[in-house]
């Protein structure tokens, strides 16, 4: 008989994009409600769950919020050990911290240990899915997908490709980038919950030949994802202009080589030109907001409201380790703060949607994750809305359910994660 579990508490549900529709029409909290899990999937929600789950094993979370598992749409798991390193901007960060650490991932044992530690940290923070860059080493990709499979997590990953402006030992070639990526894609893409992303780090570390080779691979495997970086810092953009003098703008360095498309994920995207925004919207590409990283290394203020309400698909991420936390709660708080600096107060409903359904949409996995709906995977994060004395004293003053949720988004950390379910199994 299939295992069945009835989870009771407040339940977060979605009925649309709260950046396009009024948030109160698109996002709902079913108070004192329920979710029924049968096997690895959600079987029913709300009153139907209570009726159908009468004989199921109960897990009661009174006063807690049952959310979809958080989805981190842009991260670098090889940077786990160097998170929160002091005082560098992007290029200095790469040369001082990132590249020396990534050199270690040719050692499969080290890669395996880091992947295990990283995914456990994510689960501790309520994140059940992630899209991560690996390193140039195929071993680093195998390590993350293997660790994810052991935890039944839905993960997107790819070998990071670089053939210039990187140290010896971290450069491949146009041909080896193509060959290694193709082999890894064929080994992992669609195996269980694994999905492959073709992964040029960014235009400055790839020659035109390498970008073209990866564009050709994407054309051969259009159901794969493609992830990279775009317009993170102004000095980076000037560097790109010098390297690609014939390109109209930064985005064009990808577009000219077959690396702009609906299944493309473009991290940061802070300093965009009008043409770039228009093209990203036109092709249906996904942008990924990395707020803690953008502030930590001084990149700038992403135009969340302008882009998301303007029809550009947008997700949310930690960008570990340029981002200074593994927590998507911290990313939500930072996204709120950045939007405030740009003159808009983002609602809690919009923040939760970004960290779940919005990120699932940019990863093209809404048929599996990101929402609490029948037929989707039983990936859930249970939020304690009074997890610390500071939050609890604010919680007692709440005048509505949304007023009760917001302090956890602003002040919560791993202590707010009361429970995590992955693929219908409670994490012990």
pLDDT score of 428 more than 80: no
Per-residue confidence (pLDDT) for residue 178, from 0 to 100: 98
Q: What is the pLDDT of residues 275-317, one digit of tens each?
A: 999 999 999 999 999 999 999 989 999 999 999 999 999 999 9
Per-residue confidence (pLDDT) for residue 158, from 0 to 100: 98
Per-residue confidence (pLDDT) for residue 1, from 0 to 100: 47
Q: Give percent of the chain with pLDDT exceeding 90.
A: 94
Which tops the pLDDT comparison, 29 or 296?
A: 29
Find all residues with CB under 8 Å of 370, minimum gap 6, and list them. 68, 71, 356, 357, 358, 359, 360, 361, 376
Q: What is the pLDDT of residues 306-327, one digit of tens each?
A: 999 999 999 999 999 888 999 9
pTM over 0.95: yes
- 3-state SS, one letter per residue, for the chain: CCCEEEEEEEEEEECCCCCCCCHHHHEEEEEEEEEEEECCEEEEECHHHHHHCCCCEEEEEEEEEEEECEEEEEEEHHHHHHCCCCCCCHHHHHHHHHHHHHHHHHCHHHHHHHHHHHHHHHHHCCEEEEEEECCCCHHHHHHHHHHHHHHCCEEEEECEECCCCCCCCCCCCHHHHHHHHHHHHHHHCCCCCEEEEEEECCHHHCCHHHHHHHHHHHHHCCCCEEEEEECCCHHHHHHHHHHCCCCCCHHHHHHCCCCCCCCEEEEECCCCCHHHHHHHHHHCCEEEECHHHHHHCCCCCCCHHHHHHCCCEEEECCCCCCCCCCCHHHHHHHHHHHHHHCCCCCCHHHHHHHHHHHHHHHCCCCCCCCCCCCCCECCEEEECCCCCHHHHHHHCCCCCHHHHHHHHHHHCCHHHEEEEEECCEECC
Per-residue confidence (pLDDT) for residue 295, from 0 to 100: 94
Per-residue confidence (pLDDT) for residue 91, from 0 to 100: 75
Q: Which domains occur in the chain, in start order? A: 4-69+370-426 (2.30.40.10), 76-362 (3.20.20.140)
Per-residue confidence (pLDDT) for residue 161, from 0 to 100: 98
Q: What is the pLDDT of residues 74-131, one digit of tens each?
A: 999 999 999 988 877 777 878 888 888 999 999 999 999 999 999 999 999 999 999 9
Per-residue confidence (pLDDT) for residue 96, from 0 to 100: 87
Q: What is the pLDDT of residues 155-213, one digit of tens each?
A: 999 999 999 999 999 999 999 999 999 999 999 999 999 999 999 999 999 999 999 99
pLDDT score of 262 more than 90: yes
- State mean pLDDT over 28-56: 97
- State mean pLDDT over 340-360: 98
Q: What is the mean pLDDT of the chain?
A: 96
């Amino acid at each position: 008989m299939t295992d069945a579990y009835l989870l009771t508490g407040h339940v977060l549900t979605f009925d649309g994009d709260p950046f396009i529709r009024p948030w109160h029409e698109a996002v709902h909290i079913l108070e004192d409600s329920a979710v029924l899990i049968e096997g690895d999937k959600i079987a029913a929600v709300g009153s139907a769950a209570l009726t159908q789950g009468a004989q199921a094993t109960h897990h009661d979370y009174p006063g807690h919020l049952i959310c979809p598992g958080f989805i981190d749409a842009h991260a670098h798991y090889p940077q786990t050990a160097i998170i929160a390193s002091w005082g560098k901007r992007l290029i200095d960060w790469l040369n001082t911290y990132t590249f020396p650490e990534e050199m270690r991932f040719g050692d499969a044992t080290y890669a395996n240990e880091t992947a295990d530690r990283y995914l456990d940290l994510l689960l501790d923070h309520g994140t059940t899915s992630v899209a991560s860059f690996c390193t140039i080493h195929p071993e680093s990709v195998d390590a993350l997908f293997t660790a994810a499979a052991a935890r039944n997590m839905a993960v997107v990953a790819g070998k990071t490709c670089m053939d210039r402006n990187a140290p010896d030992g971290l450069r491949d070639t146009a041909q080896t980038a193509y060959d290694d990526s193709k082999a890894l894609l064929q080994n992992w893409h669609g195996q269980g919950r694994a999905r492959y992303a073709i992964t040029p780090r960014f235009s400055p570390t790839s020659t035109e030949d390498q970008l073209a080779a990866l564009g050709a691979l994407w054309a051969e495997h259009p159901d794969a994802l493609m992830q990279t970086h775009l317009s993170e810092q102004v000095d980076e953009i000037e560097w790109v202009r010098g390297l690609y003098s014939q390109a109209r703008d930064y985005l064009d360095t990808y577009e000219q080589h077959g690396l702009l498309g609906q299944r493309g994920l473009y991290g940061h995207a802070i300093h965009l030109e009008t043409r770039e925004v228009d093209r990203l919207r036109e092709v249906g590409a996904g942008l990924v907001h990395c707020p803690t990283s953008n502030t930590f290394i001084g990149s700038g203020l992403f135009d969340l409201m302008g882009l998301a309400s303007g029809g550009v698909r947008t997700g949310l991420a930690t960008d570990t380790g340029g981002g200074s936390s593994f927590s998507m709660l911290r990313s939500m708080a930072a996204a709120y703060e950045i939007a405030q600096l740009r003159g808009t107060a983002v609602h809690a409903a919009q923040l939760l949607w970004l960290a779940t359904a919005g990120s699932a949409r940019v990863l093209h996995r809404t048929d599996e994750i990101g929402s609490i709906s029948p037929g989707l995977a039983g990936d859930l994060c249970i939020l304690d809305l009074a997890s610390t004395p500071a939050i609890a004293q604010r919680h007692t003053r709440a005048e509505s359910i949304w007023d009760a949720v917001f302090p956890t988004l602003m002040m919560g950390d791993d202590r707010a994660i009361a429970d995590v379910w992955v693929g219908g199994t409670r994490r012990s």
